[in-house]
Amino acid sequence: MNYFSHNPLNRDFEARTDAAQQTHLWNHPQARIILIHDSLNLFVQQEDSITAVLLPREEAEVLEPVAKAKVFLGVADEVPYFALGFEKHPDVLAKYPKTASYLFRDLKDVALQLPQEQSAILAYARAMVHWHLGHHFCANCGAPTYNIEAGHVRQCSNADCGKLHFPRTDTAVIMLISEGDACLLARQATWPKSRYATLAGFLEPGETLEQAVAREAMEETGVQLASITYHSSQPWPFPASVMAGFMATASSRSLAVNYNEMEDARWFTRQEIADGLQQGTFLLPPQVSISYRLIRDWYNAAPGHQLEEVMQGLPERNL
């Protein structure tokens, strides 16, 4: 499974509309609260390790009244999980007495240091809070919205409207395109030097996932595809996507790169990838991403090739 896909929670949808049950879960002695501030998760730094902060309910109560969002996430091993969301609130932890080593970090930058199930819960919390913070007003009439169903619905406050708004996830396709012993990778100018990744783009209205794969390949690189096969998917709440991953083959290696979309795109053989990694002239996407897994699975599909072996002993920047 891909990172952020190991969510162990029972989302318990029936409890979302039961006010008494929500009060019971919030007051449960084992309840744990996840704090999100401006799309960043709360961690505690101890020497070279980083640990997610899951506050006991008693320690989070002082923050609940000032939270912009409160979401019931679900239950795992009889432990209820909630998320509290804040924005533009730099003193969000001011009343909490043990903040010396606390810091808010981007989850995708530290996920490799966390248990996978915990990373998935934190990603879920981040996605829900992001949706709340971006939907304070009704898209239908502009009136303020308010939180209902334990944070899984927002309702318009205008009695003449009353529209219900539901959490949203934007679908994106991401694909490893190969031709013979080479795969097509591209980079954005804002990425770290020498980093290349698979092509990707958002699904547009009225098209299938496969059509989106073919369209993005053509728009970004001019490559025509001969085959498209589904690989796997990944929640990617950065800020609010699900990545549908595909393996595809190209009709040829002819390229017509759209430099308005990307800084560079080129074909890489397995040997070029291995040499670049060893020489420090090539950087893979982060290992938490489905892009890395697509490249790894393609690389390892050839007999005698193991990307993990190539990467042994490489600097941390390759993670």
| CATH code of the domain covering residue 236 | 3.90.79.10
Q: Are residue 116 and residue 191 in the same domain, yes or no?
A: no
Structure-block tokens of residue 111: 């996920």
Distance of CA 75 to the CA centre of its chain: 21
**Pair (129, 174) in one structural domain:** no
Does some domain include residue 259?
Answer: yes
Query: Does one domain contain both 74 and 122?
Result: yes
Same domain, 196 and 294: yes
CB contact at 8 A, 119 and 107: yes
Backbone angles phi, psi at 224, to 5 degrees: -95, 140
d(CA 126, CA 177): 31
Please say which residue of 134, 154, 179 terminates a domain.
134
Tell whether 111 and 41 lie within a shared domain.
yes
Looking at residue 77, the DSSP 8-state letter turns out to be T
What type of residue is 289? Answer: S
Reported as a single tens digit per residue, the pLDDT across 192-218 is: 999 999 999 999 999 999 999 999 999
Sign of CA dihedral 276, 280, 283, 286: positive
Domain span at 228: 170-302
Assess if residue 232 is contained within a domain.
yes
pLDDT at 99 > cutoff 60: no
pTM of the model: 0.92
Structural domain count of the chain: 2
Which run of H or E residues covers position 23? helix 19-26
CA 48, distance to chain mean position in Å, is: 24
The residue type found at 64 is E
Per-residue pLDDT averaged across 144-150, rounded?
97
pLDDT category at 102 given cuts 50, 70, 90 is confident
Does 154 reside within a domain? no
> What average pLDDT does range 43-54 have in this prediction?
88
174 shares a domain with 127: no
Looking at residue 129, what is its pLDDT?
97
